[in-house]
Every structure is written in C-alpha cells, then in structure tokens.
Structure 1
Amino acid sequence: MDIKNVTNTAWMNDAYTVRKTVFVEEQNVSLEEEIDENDPVATHFVGYVQGEPVAASRLRFTGDYGKLERICVLQAYRGSSFGKQIILHMEEFVKRQGYTKTKLHAQTHALQFYEALGYKVVSEEFMDAGIPHKTMVKAFLS
C-alpha cells in the first residue's frame, strides 16, 4: 500500500470517499458527525493499492499527544495489514513533529488490534456516534 500525506484536493476527496464508505455506509454514522469541524485543521492520510484509495485516517495534535483519528480500511482490504501500515505511518509522522506519545479512541471491537500495536486502554467505555469506544495511548521510547 502506498500511503500519501494528503496535500491536494483529489487525495482529500479520496480520503473522504473511504471514510464515508466505512463510517457512514457500513457503521451508520451520520455524515455530519463523520465530516466535522476538525477536518480542516487535521493532517490527513490516504492509502492506495494500484491507484485505488483503500484506507484513510487523520491526525491532530492535542496537548502532548498526536491523536490518531478516523482510521479505516475498506472491507475488501481488511486483514491485509493496511490498518497497521497506516497507523505506523502516522506514528512516524508524529515522531518527526517531536511528539513522544499518541492516543486514539478505539472502537471496542478493535481493542486487540491496537493492543498488538502497543496501545494501552486508559479509559472506561464511552459512546461516540452510537458506537462503544475506549481511549488508548502509546508512548515511544526516546
């Protein structure tokens, strides 16, 4: 998978297409919740396979953390390590910005996936867009 840091409208539209497919169509999140006020200030990423967008995510910096958000992979491409690849790409981006910690709000069905990447649960379960989540964090060795 070829991961791009979104720098143009075409790549941004590709990221939105993947996010809308996964979150709005599959998970029934409203479009208003999915595409929110944080999109204009976030750094976006999109993953391509043979020129087709198959994964997307966004990143914001909040306090001491790089906050990984909207991580998604099209259903046909799940199980191909693309989620892991985009997270590792985001973590490297966070490190290059001088941050040593990341956090994310994981859907509870994906907790084991994130734990395998070194994330630890630090919150009780909460609902976001009607889906149960837990906050997870990861610190990098300096």
Structure 2
Amino acid sequence: MSKVHVRLADWHKDNAALRRIREAVFINEQSVAPELEWDSEDSQAIHFLALEDDYPIGTARLLSDGHIGRVSVLRDWRGLKVGERLMQAAIAEAEQRGLRQQHLSAQVHATAFYERLGFRIVSDEYLEAGIPHVDMLRESH
C-alpha cells in the first residue's frame, strides 16, 4: 500500500470527494436513504478525508458536541487501518478542542472496532436507517 494520510477537509472544496465516498458506502452498499444521509450538520461539521496518495478513500466528521460520525472507507481499502486513522484524527481534533467526551452511533457489527479505540457501549440496540446501532462513548483522560 502506498502513502495513506488523513487531513482536515473543507465541506465546500472537498464536497465531491466526501459525497462520493459516503454515497458509495452508505447509500449504495447499505441502502441508507439519501435524505437520511445528508443533513444540515454537514456544513457546520469538521470533516476528515483519508487519501491514498491524492485519491480520496475515506471520510469521517466531528460535530461541535463531540459526536463522531459518517465514518466510511471505500470497500477496496477496508482492513488496511484507514478507519482507525480517521478515528484517531477525529479523536485528536476533539481533544484539541477541549471535547473530553466523544460519542458515536455505531453499527452493531463495528462495535469491536470502536472498543479498540477506547469507546464503550452505553445504550441498548436500536435501528437507525434500518441498521442495528448502539450508542458508544469515549472519555479522554
């Protein structure tokens, strides 16, 4: 694998790349309705873009309340720690902004991934966009 890096993204300048990744993962693969995927929080969120060389392969976003979401990696790059790098960048940014608690809504199948990053399950299972989820919390020390 060549050089993978994560950088802060600009919702307007990087919009096409951010949308392409999220559409591929959430709308096309997981059948999330487009009206559920896109919300007014995107324009206010801090976005992260994972790239292999200059090719966008993953994204995530951080909201002002410490909520990390929309973590997505294109299928061909899964299992290569791209999601982990995105999460580490989002956690570091949250901590830098004084957000000592980070929380997320995790698809149930991905809870072990988030647990390895220090998150713990804090809710019962529920459906979001027809997919089983749980709320997870991470507290900075």
Class of the TM-score when normalised by the shorter of the 2 chains? over 0.9
Query: Any gaps of 5 or more consecutive residues in structure 2?
Result: none
Partner AA of 2:83 in structure 1: G
How many positions carry a matched residue from both structures? 138
2:25 alignment partner, one of 16, 22, 45: 22
2:6 alignment partner, one of 3, 6, 10: 3
Identity of aligned residues (%): 31
Which residue of the partner structure matches residue 108 of structure 1?
A: 108
Partner AA of 1:80 in structure 2: L
Partner AA of 2:139 in structure 1: A
Q: TM-score, normalised by structure 1?
A: 0.93
Deviations 1:105-142 (A, max 9, x none): 0000001111111110000001111101000000111x
1:31 alignment partner, one of 30, 34, 43: 34
Which residue of the partner structure matches residue 137 of structure 1?
A: 137
Partner AA of 2:23 in structure 1: K
Do 2:11 and 2:42's aligned partners in 1 also have CA atoms closer than 8 Å?
no
Q: TM-score, normalised by structure 2?
A: 0.93
Query: Any gaps of 5 or more consecutive residues in structure 1?
Result: none
State the shift of 1:61 in Å: 2.1
Cα distance in 2 for residues equivalent to 1:21 and 1:8: 17
Cα distance in 1 for residues equivalent to 2:103 and 2:19: 22
Cα distance in 2 for residues equivalent to 1:88 and 1:8: 20
